[in-house]
Structures are given as C-alpha cells and as structure tokens.
C-alpha cells in the first residue's frame, strides 16, 4: 500500500503481542491485524480479499492466519495467500518504538 504513511499512531503495546501471536486493533471503523513473528512485525487490513470476510487473530498459527469463511490461509510475513497466489491482504507499515506498536496510515485527504 502506501509507502508515504504520514500518520503514525500507537495501536498496541509491544508487550501484549508476543512472538507467534496476532492482535486485532481498531481505528474508528477500520479493523487491522498486527502479527508478531520471529521475523518481526507486520500489519494488514482485517478484510479477506476473497469475499470480504473479517479474519480473526485467534486463527493465527505463528506463520499463517486462516480465514474461517472458506479456509484460505494468509502469510504473516508478506500478506500473500498460501492457497491462491495473487490474493493478498492489504499491508500497513509498522514500527515498534518506546514499547508501542505504531501503524502508519495514509495521509488524510485535504481540500
């Protein structure tokens, strides 16, 4: 998605998401999934690209998260679908600073 994220917001506490876990966070009406793996942190919109269903953090096995509607699996590492290449979760930039997990949101539209 957007390499020019302008609005970095603290969306979770680092200590609350250990390695191998995921967490669902909300910003207004938007839901995001944050993943913490051995390779680091990633974040995606919580909307399955197959049919738009929500995905749940509880269905993360440490490497992939499964959408329970039709069973497609998505990699935490890059958001790609392990079952149907080309269907990817929408990524958001992540950084961890001062004990917080920060998510970068696109600049708010102006004008």
Residues that bind ligand FES (CB under 6 A): 48, 50-51, 53, 67, 69-70, 72
Q: Which is nearer to ligand FES, 42 or 66 (CB)?
A: 66
- Residue 51 CB, shortest distance to ligand FES, in Å, is 4
Which C-beta is closer to ligand FES: that of 44 or that of 102?
A: 44
Q: Which is nearer to ligand FES, 27 or 59 (CB)?
A: 59
Please give the full DSSP string across the chain, using - where no structure is assigned.
--TT--EEEEEEEGGGS-TTEEEEEEETTEEEEEEEETTEEEEEESB-TTT--B--GGGB-SSEEE-TTT--EEETTT-BBSSSTT-BPPEE-EEEETTEEEEEEPPPP--
């Amino acid at each position: 998605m957007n390499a020019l994220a302008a609005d970095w917001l603290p969306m979770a506490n680092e200590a609350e998401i250990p390695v191998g876990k995921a967490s669902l966070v909300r910003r207004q009406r938007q839901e995001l999934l944050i993943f913490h793996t051995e390779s680091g942190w990633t974040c995606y919109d919580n909307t399955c690209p197959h049919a738009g269903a929500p995905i749940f953090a509880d269905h993360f096995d440490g490497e992939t998260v499964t959408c329970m509607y039709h069973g497609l699996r998505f990699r935490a590492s890059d958001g790609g679908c392990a079952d149907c290449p080309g269907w990817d979760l929408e990524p958001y930039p992540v950084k961890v600073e001062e004990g917080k997990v920060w998510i970068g949101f696109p600049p708010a539209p102006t004008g």
